[in-house]
Amino acid sequence: MEALVKHSISTFELLVADLYPFYEKVTSTNGVLFDDGIENIDMGGPTMIRAAAKNHKAVLVVANSEDYPLLLEFLKGNKDDQMLRRKLAWIAFQHVAAYDSAVSN
């Protein structure tokens, strides 16, 4: 926190992340070259999503565009909903696990 203050850096309160479309790319009907598939593996996105989900009490994480309506409702409200934060963290962990599984397969 001292370094954040020293360098005038704010804390993260929200992370919205869309991962590279790895699964869509490698399963397309057009086929895909191996190197093209490798290029579509997102490395930083899953890491940021996991970190935000781990810290869901302070960082709201949205990893799936289907959850944008939940995010908008949350942002319109004037109260913090820890159960929603927990739910979105759970969805985020599932999303990253499915992504990692697709890559490993």
Does the residue 48 lie in any domain?
A: yes
Residues with Cβ within 8 Å of 70's Cβ and at least 6 positions away in sequence, in order, are: 62, 84, 88
Does the residue 93 lie in any domain?
A: yes
Q: 99, 71 in Cβ contact below 8 A?
A: no
For the chain, the domain total comes to 1
**4 band by pLDDT with thresholds 50, 70 and 90:** confident
Does the residue 2 lie in any domain?
A: no
pLDDT tens readout for residues 66-101: 999 989 988 898 778 899 999 999 999 999 999 999
Does the residue 92 lie in any domain?
A: yes
Does the residue 3 lie in any domain?
A: no
pLDDT tens readout for residues 32-53: 888 988 998 999 999 999 999 9
Domain limits for position 23: 10-104
Q: Residue 33 is part of a domain; what is its CATH number?
A: 3.40.50.1380
Does the residue 33 lie in any domain?
A: yes
